[in-house]
């Protein structure tokens, strides 16, 4: 059995750890509130950008005259090269947040290879994903560590970089693997194909943008597409980063809450062990005193 001194030292160590995890939980909760507000405010804007783009593309496709197709809309029949953009965090202690995203990214790469892609590389946002992939010997085309610190600035830069590579034929497809934020305790791994840009068409029974209405475009449709499509790509990438950022803080808050509770349980167990050891020591000392007294009587 450990000595009383060793148990006291262990209790003190666990109490210090509990203080750290509790503080980290509070910090994560504060950051989560800000991140939740940002992604909640962005989602309606991203949805409206997609709706406007869908409306313009639909009217270009149904026009009587021939129109030039935007290069980011081109769905190449032979897709040979692809990127998997993996979004993780720069810091750990977030439970299974990073591990789940990394597994999904590796699984997506295998799926693309099975679909016939000859070359699939990773683009990483987040240090944890980059370090794991490098340990596995995976080829990383671009690394954007620290992008989650200022996503509003870095997202357009990353979007322009990958759009240029898609236009010049360096890649034929780009998929994003990220964690969608649902709540502080619920985050879901999502995979979206960002390039080529695919505009989903609404079902016949779904609400529409009043297709019977005639729109006047100023400037013309092609000029609108030149601005709307890059805006859509930048907004989508920005949204996925904010989703992952909010999910990271939610996962870390949950992990630190669990760690704090586990530390409390461990302190209770160690305290019980300490009391039993102390009681055993006192009982032993009493028995020795009684034994000595009986020996003197004899």
pLDDT in tens, 264-292: 999 999 999 999 989 988 888 888 888 88
Q: Do both 157 and 226 map to the same domain?
A: yes
Count of domains observed in the chain: 2
Q: What is the mean pLDDT of residues 161-166?
A: 96
Position 62 scores a pLDDT of: 42
- In a domain, residue 83? The reply is yes
pLDDT value for 102: 97
Do 102 and 217 lie in one domain? The reply is yes
Q: Are both 249 and 262 inside the same structural domain? A: no
pLDDT tens-place string over residues 33-65 = 999 999 999 999 999 999 888 888 877 654 443
* Residue 108 binned pLDDT confidence (cut-offs 50, 70, 90): very high
Are both 128 and 275 inside the same structural domain?
no
What is the rounded end-to-end Cα distance, in angstroms, of the chain? 34
Domain identity same for 185 and 54: yes
> Could you tell me if 280 and 213 lie in one domain?
no
CB 46 within 8 A of CB 235: yes
Domain holding 9, by residue range, is: 4-25+256-293
**Whether residue 284 sits in one domain with residue 222:** no
Q: 108-131 in b/e burial notation, b at 16+ Cβ within 10 A?
A: bbeebeeeebeebbbbbbbbbbbb
Looking at the DSSP bridge assignments, the partners of residue 140 are: 122
CATH of the domain at 118: 3.40.1380.10
b/e map 159-188, b = 16+ CB within 10 Å = beebbebbeeeebbbbbbbbbbbeebeebe
Tell whether 224 and 269 lie within a shared domain.
no
**Based on the domain organization, do 229 and 260 belong to the same domain?**
no
pTM attached to this predicted model: 0.86
Residues 148, 269, single domain; the answer is no
52 in the same domain as 17:
no
Q: Is 56 helix (H, G, I), strand (E, B) or coil?
A: helix
Distances, alpha carbon 211 to alpha carbons 61, 260, 295, in Å:
13, 56, 106
Q: Are residues 144 and 245 in the same domain?
A: yes
């Amino acid at each position: 059995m450990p000595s009383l001194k060793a148990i006291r030292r262990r209790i003190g160590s666990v109490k210090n750890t509990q203080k750290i995890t509790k503080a980290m939980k509070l910090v994560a909760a504060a950051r989560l509130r800000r991140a939740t507000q940002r992604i909640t405010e962005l989602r309606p804007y991203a949805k409206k950008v997609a709706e406007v783009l869908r409306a313009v593309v639909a009217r270009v496709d149904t026009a009587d005259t021939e129109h030039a197709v935007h290069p980011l809309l081109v769905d190449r029949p032979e897709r040979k090269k692809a990127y998997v953009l993996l979004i993780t965090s720069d810091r750990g202690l977030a439970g299974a947040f990073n591990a789940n995203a990394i597994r999904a990214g590796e699984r997506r790469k295998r799926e693309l290879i099975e679909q016939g892609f000859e070359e699939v590389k990773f683009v990483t946002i987040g240090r944890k994903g980059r370090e794991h992939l490098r340990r596995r010997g995976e080829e990383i085309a671009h690394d954007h560590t620290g992008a989650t610190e200022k996503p509003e600035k870095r997202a357009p830069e990353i979007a322009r970089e990958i759009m240029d590579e898609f236009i010049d034929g360096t890649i034929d497809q780009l998929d994003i693997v990220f964690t969608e934020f649902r709540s502080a305790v619920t985050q879901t791994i999502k995979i979206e194909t960002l390039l080529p840009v695919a505009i989903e068409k609404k079902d016949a029974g779904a609400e529409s943008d009043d297709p019977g209405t005639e729109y006047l475009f100023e400037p013309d449709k092609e000029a609108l597409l030149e601005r709307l499509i890059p805006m859509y790509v930048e907004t989508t990438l920005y949204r996925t980063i904010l989703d992952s950022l909010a999910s990271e803080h939610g996962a870390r808050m949950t992990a630190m809450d669990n760690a704090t509770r586990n530390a409390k349980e461990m302190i209770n167990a160690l305290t019980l062990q300490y009391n039993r050891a102390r009681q055993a020591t006192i009982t032993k000392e009493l028995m020795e005193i009684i034994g000595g007294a009986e020996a003197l009587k004899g």
